[in-house]
Amino acid sequence: MHKQKIVVFAIVVLSSLAANSYEAPNRFLSGTPGFMGTGLRQSCYALDVPADVLPCNPAFIAKEKERRFNTNLSLGNNVSYLKEATDLSQGRADQKSIQTLFQEHENNELQTQIELGHVQETFGWAITPALVNYSTSFHNQALPKISLYASLEESARLHFGSYLSDDWSYGVQLRYVHRRFVASQFYLTDALVPDGRYLFEPKQQYLFFIEPGVMYAPKDSPLNPEFTIALINSGFLNERFAEVPVEPEFHFTSSINPELEYGRFSLGVDVNFNKKLREGPGPLTLGGFYEFGILRLFGSLARDENGIGFGIFNTWWNMGVAHRNETYLNPLDESITISKSYLFLGIEI
């Protein structure tokens, strides 16, 4: 009982901590990059669908039956900023690259990654040699205030799992991430004075996560329901930065997978409990997909964002497009919606 009190106390204390500095956009820290992660967002945890190489939710790994090797390249908007984003993340930015970044005076976003991995029965691994995230937003044309996030991540993931009984299974994801990033919010004139060089000094973070998941899938139901609980972002890191908060997330998911004559359909809902329930897309995300032959259609819906997409998964190559809308309230409580499209290319061996 004493231990229980300590745990509860620790949770309350941690929850009351308020970050005051600039935080990187949550979508870059969610742990679900790539094609399906981008299109399905949090509902990716509820659906038994390969998210590029490995499923989002480690609880599904025990169900894997097929053996495959994938190499994927996903490209987002503004790929032309790739060099500037990697230069910034690695501390190679000079005045010229900063000038190039700010030439457009517009809000920009880039997320691109290359991933390769292998999946077989109850086991899988994936390596991401490079995941580049980049986001800028500009406000106040009279004296531009700039929010900048640029990161270069290398990561490795290992999934393993097994059945506990006919209905119960478990899976564990071990995830290692090395993140180099620059996250700043500043006025343009801040960047032009001698102290401004500190704004672009990259920071490094090493993270190691142990992310377990449990699934209950009763066999005798016509809708083939699946219920999972997964703990994501639980682990260790070398240093905490307010700019890139790492908060544990509890995902409670349920989905139905009715058997169809043609194709495969799944509809699921993810409830994500974390420290920032009132921010971002909200705790509830509904998502679904339909697969028929080489075509896969999918979509997701949350409080403040929704996405749709399609993919063509041929014998050895695949490609897809995802489109996402995000809605947020500006400081004047006006609703603003922004739309983004992503392109995905991959090969399968």
Q: Smaller CB distance to other proteins: residue 67 or 105?
A: 105
Closest CB 196 distance from other proteins, rounded Å:
8
Q: Smaller CB distance to other proteins: residue 186 or 310?
A: 186
Closest CB 332 distance from other proteins, rounded Å:
5
Structure tokens at 124: 């899988």
Return the axis-axis angle of helices 82-89 and 95-102, rounded to nearest 10°: 130
Cα 153 to Cα 150: distance, rounded to the nearest angstrom:
10
Structure tokens at 349: 């061996």
Closest CB 294 distance from other proteins, rounded Å:
41
Instruction: Give how far Cα 238 sits from Cα of 79, 130, 204, 241, Å.
Output: 31, 20, 9, 10
Q: Smaller CB distance to other proteins: residue 15 or 162?
A: 15
Q: Smaller CB distance to other proteins: residue 14 or 223?
A: 14
Closest CB 186 distance from other proteins, rounded Å:
8
Contacting positions for other proteins (CB under 8 A): 4, 7-8, 11-12, 15-16, 18-20, 95, 99, 102, 105, 138-145, 187-190, 192-196, 250, 273-279, 330-332, 334
Cα 112 to Cα 85: distance, rounded to the nearest angstrom:
11
Q: Smaller CB distance to other proteins: residue 7 or 349?
A: 7
Closest CB 283 distance from other proteins, rounded Å:
8
Closest CB 184 distance from other proteins, rounded Å:
13
CA-CA-CA-CA torsion for 302, 304, 310, 316, nearest 10 degrees? -80
Q: Are 43 and 268 in contact (CB under 8 A)?
A: yes
CA nearest 296: which of 308, 311, 309? Answer: 311
Q: Smaller CB distance to other proteins: residue 125 or 216?
A: 216
Closest CB 31 distance from other proteins, rounded Å:
18
Cα 102 to Cα 96: distance, rounded to the nearest angstrom:
10
Cα 200 to Cα 181: distance, rounded to the nearest angstrom:
9
Closest CB 328 distance from other proteins, rounded Å:
12
Q: Smaller CB distance to other proteins: residue 193 or 349?
A: 193
Closest CB 106 distance from other proteins, rounded Å:
11
* Conformation bin of residue 91: beta by default, left when phi > 0, alpha when psi is -120 to 50: left
| Secondary element (H or E) of residue 90 | none
Burial annotation 136-157 (CB, 10 A radius, 16+ → b, else e): bebeeeeeeebbbbbbbbebbb
In order, the DSSP letters of 270-336 are EEEE-TTTTSTT-SEEEEEEEEETTEEEEEEEESSEEEEEEEEE-SSEEEEEEEEEEEEE-TTS-EE
